[in-house]
Amino acid sequence: MTTNTITEQMTQAGQKIEHDSFAIVDQEVGAHNYETAEWAIVRRMIHATADFEFNGLTHFHKEAVSAGLQAIKQGAAIVADVEMICVGLSKPRLSHFGVSTHHFISDTDVITQAKAENSTRAVQAMRKAHSLDLLDGGIIAVGNAPTALLEVIRFIKEENVKPALIVGMPVGFVSAAESKAETELLADIPWITTHGRKGGSTLVVACIHALLALAEAG
């Protein structure tokens, strides 16, 4: 194990606040059934939202953490459904591992195709990512659009696409819970989800930052 420097806050004051926050979460959370590395992820998600319900709502494929760490250490691409995730992720932390981020939801060709097919931009964005060969071996990060997650699942089932990890946490009322339930049925593709309606880009960012910290530590 090493002492983290890249994935820590940049100032001692910032580090103290973050570490104190984690200690408060540990003190107040009560019982949980997560393994040590899984808890490091869930704790950061709770820290980012002040919502203790993610103790229990956060679900892990049995190989999720190990697959995520391997992908990060190999410099896998992160394909996000929305720009907010890419903006929220720390560029110095990503660049330390050679990890790139990609989102296509606002691209002109994506919007044009979505209108032409009466589909969503999120669906077309994932199709573009697939055409650029970014889904295979990539980390799929979905915090907003259930249709993006469902399209990735379709690629997995119909075209044998194999992402390294799916962080599937779309928030909302239409297909959000259902898309995550479908993700949790994937046996051979590792995933991390938030069960039910709760989710969001903030949680995806927190989850990936936790994975980056675990990758630096180990």
Q: Please give the positions annotated as active site.
A: 47
What count of other Cβ atoms lies within 10 Å of the Cβ of residue 16? 11
What does the CA dihedral 10, 89, 66, 155 come to, rounded to 10 degrees?
-170
Q: Are 137 and 156 in contact (CB under 8 A)?
A: no
Give the DSSP letter of residue 135.
S
Q: How many residues does the chain have?
A: 218
Q: List phi, psi (to 5°) of 66.
A: -60, -40
